[in-house]
Amino acid sequence: ADEPTTALDVTIQAQILEIMKRLKSEFDSAMIMISHDLGVVAEVADRVAVMYAGDIVETGTVEQVFVNPRHPYTVGLIGSLPDIEQRGKSRLKPIHGLMPDSMELPSGCSFHPRCPHVMGLCSAAKPQMYQVGTGHQSRCYLHDNKDGTDG
């Protein structure tokens, strides 16, 4: 389902999500949902794949990705969400810079022009997916742990 609840009011949205969850359970099937609404993702998904500029940059369970994000883009994405406990006390934290032109993506990691942890290698070659936990992967050189530790 591609953005199944876009432009729906909250009541209808909740009903649609409940139907989707029921059908998934009833038929014991998988469901792929594409959404920018992280609340919907947290509500419905078991596993999450975060994409940036057409590449999957992080995968894991909802808890792994939302509670312990490991790719700098995912960290920024989760960090940019409003925090109800901080309402009025702090400003939203944007991800600095602009999305790249999809017709002229940067070399290497697409996120490197915006990344707070950018290294020389980031613009030279696209990183592979690194294991950062059981069933949790991140496409970032920060996790290239040749010495056996997680960077």
Each residue's pLDDT tens digit, 92-118: 788 999 999 999 999 999 999 999 999
Length of the chain: 151
The pLDDT, as a whole number, for residue 33 is 87
Per DSSP, what are the bridge partners of residue 136? 133
pLDDT category at 149 given cuts 50, 70, 90 is very low
Using a 10 angstrom Cβ sphere, with 0-12 exposed, 13-18 middle and 19 or more buried, the burial of residue 61 is: middle
The pLDDT, as a whole number, for residue 10 is 84
Using a 10 angstrom Cβ sphere, with 0-12 exposed, 13-18 middle and 19 or more buried, the burial of residue 119 is: middle
pLDDT category at 55 given cuts 50, 70, 90 is very high
Across 124-143, average pLDDT? 97
**Between 39 and 110, residue with greater pLDDT:** 110
The pLDDT, as a whole number, for residue 147 is 47
Indicate the residue type of 135. Answer: G
Predicted TM-score (pTM) of the model is: 0.85
Position 83 pLDDT exceeds 90: no
Rg, C-alpha atoms of the chain: 17
